[in-house]
Amino acid sequence: MKQLEDKVAIITGGASGIGKAITELFVKAGANVVVADLNEKLGQQLVNTIGEGNVVFIKADASSVDDNRKIVETAIENFGALHIAVNNAGIGGAAAPVGEYDIANWKQVIDINLNGVFYGMHAQLPEIEKVGGSIINMASILGAVGFANSAAYSAAKHGVVGLTKSAAWEYGTKGVRINAVGPGFISTPLVDQAMDQQTQDYLAAQHAMQRLGKAEEVAELVLWLASDKSSFITGSYYPVDGGYLAK
């Protein structure tokens, strides 16, 4: 029997990068998956690549209360239940010192990276509580430390860790496990587009393993947290960072 056989999962930001890697691994593990993303083209490509049946795509904005409800409704309508949610959608945001940070950019980062996780959990928990399951919230290494010119991102990811721990206590006796994952700098198409090779080399050197991580390496941890193999794990924050936080 596969690890996630007959389980139903939601993955926000699931059409590319880490989300895509999680989607592909979940499907291999036997899950029925609802992929939510704003990028409809990439979402449909992913569904077509995997094959329709156990994957459904919905165009949705993680920072929207209504869209998060629609994502959950899509899971129930297509697969009859909800066991797993991966709140992965997020943005890097603008880079600037706190005193110069654009207020609109601050609000956007907080709304997607922190409020979006809360909105997702708010919609997901009543359904997951009915059958038992697991929620994995995507934080970051910057959910544990600061990073110059990334105050909004770091504040949001710290908030995700706190939200995760609080919710874990609330649902610890209700059959729902809630954990956070903290990736280091991960090699994705977005990173390749946003950073030149010199910048990527500098960031790689900040990790003990002297390289950037791979999306698939994050996905393996998420799979374990989603599965019954992590049955006594809740309220935890798991870095997958190549030793970045070991300094």
What's the maximum distance between 2 C-alpha atoms anywhere in the chain? 54
- Burial of 130: CB neighbours in 10 Å, binned 0-12, 13-18, 19+: middle
Question: Of these residues, 119, 153, 238, 244, which one is catalytic?
Answer: 153
Active site residue 202: no
C-alpha 72: how far from chain center: 16
| Long-range contacts (CB closer than 8 Å, 24 or more residues apart) made by 216-222 | 216/21, 216/25, 217/186, 218/18, 218/21, 218/22, 218/181, 218/183, 218/186, 219/18, 219/21, 219/22, 219/24, 219/25, 220/25, 221/181, 222/22, 222/25, 222/86, 222/136, 222/181
Catalytic residues: 153
